[in-house]
């Protein structure tokens, strides 16, 4: 359509990104074109640098620029409490709380038979080895509250409980600012089941 192959190629690459449709891709491509060369190349260089430098932490499988991530390297934190998450982005979300002083373990996915992902495809074996080696006292399951997250949590429970370790899962209920009138019935049911003494 553009008859300018380098522009078509860029728009095509941008369209492959999640949340970017053809119209946004065109807008971004023209924005990059109008930027100064050095400004536009900063993005290209940032992609190259990220791909070259970032790898996975050998202990918790979070992203890292070295063998161990900044959390595993932090001696003020300990493996006594390990929070198990599905993806690296979940670590960022949990870290925003700012009070958790344990460490993480990233599974890199959730159990999903329909996508051909079973326990063997996740970092579960590594979690079990780590728990045994580090004398972990509590494992906090922080998987999403959906079918795949539930299946993963159930599987992990079966693996971790026999080790005699305290196993908890994030609580479910009404989110902050929620309006009971408009809450869906499953959330309300979970909030009722999980009610706590006032």
Nearest alpha-carbon partner for 190 in 168, 177, 171, 176? 171
Backbone conformation region of residue 69, classed left if phi is above 0, alpha if psi is from -120 to 50, else beta: beta
Whose tokens are 């370790």? That residue is 165
CA distance 144 to 85: 9
**Which C-beta is closer to a copy of itself: that of 103 or that of 131?**
103
**Which C-beta is closer to a copy of itself: that of 30 or that of 194?**
30
Asked if residue 142 binds a copy of itself (CB under 8 A), the reply is: no
User: Given the rule CB under 8 A, which of 63-71, 124-132, 151-159, 163-171 is the region that contacts a copy of itself?
Assistant: 63-71
Asked if residue 115 binds a copy of itself (CB under 8 A), the reply is: no
CA distance 119 to 124: 7
**Which C-beta is closer to a copy of itself: that of 9 or that of 158?**
9
Contact 63, 74 (CB under 8 A): no
Residue 14 three-state SS: helix
User: Given the rule CB under 8 A, which of 78-86, 87-95, 146-154, 182-190 is the region that contacts a copy of itself?
Assistant: 87-95
89-108: contacts with a copy of itself (CB under 8 A)? 89, 92, 95-96
The residues binding a copy of itself (CB under 8 A) are: 1-7, 9-10, 12-14, 16-20, 24, 26-33, 37, 40-54, 63-65, 69-70, 87-89, 92, 95-96
């Amino acid at each position: 359509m553009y008859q300018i192959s380098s522009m078509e190629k860029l728009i095509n690459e941008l369209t492959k990104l999640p949340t970017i449709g053809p119209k946004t891709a065109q807008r971004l491509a023209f924005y990059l074109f109008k930027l100064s060369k050095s400004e536009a190349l900063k993005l290209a260089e940032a992609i190259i640098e990220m791909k070259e430098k970032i790898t996975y932490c050998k202990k918790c499988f979070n992203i890292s620029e070295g063998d161990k991530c900044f959390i595993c390297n932090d001696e003020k934190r300990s493996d006594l409490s390990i929070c198990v998450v599905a993806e690296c982005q979940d670590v960022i979300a949990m870290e925003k709380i700012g009070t958790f002083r344990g460490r993480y373990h990233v599974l890199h996915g959730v159990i999903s038979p329909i996508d051909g992902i079973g326990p063997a495809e996740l970092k579960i074996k590594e979690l079990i080895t780590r728990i045994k080696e580090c004398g972990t006292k509590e494992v906090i399951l922080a998987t999403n509250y959906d079918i795949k997250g539930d299946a993963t949590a159930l599987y992990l429970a079966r693996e971790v409980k026999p080790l005699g370790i305290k196993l908890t899962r994030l609580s479910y209920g009404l989110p902050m600012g929620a309006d009971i009138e408009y809450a869906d019935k499953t959330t309300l049911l979970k909030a009722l089941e999980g009610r706590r003494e006032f």
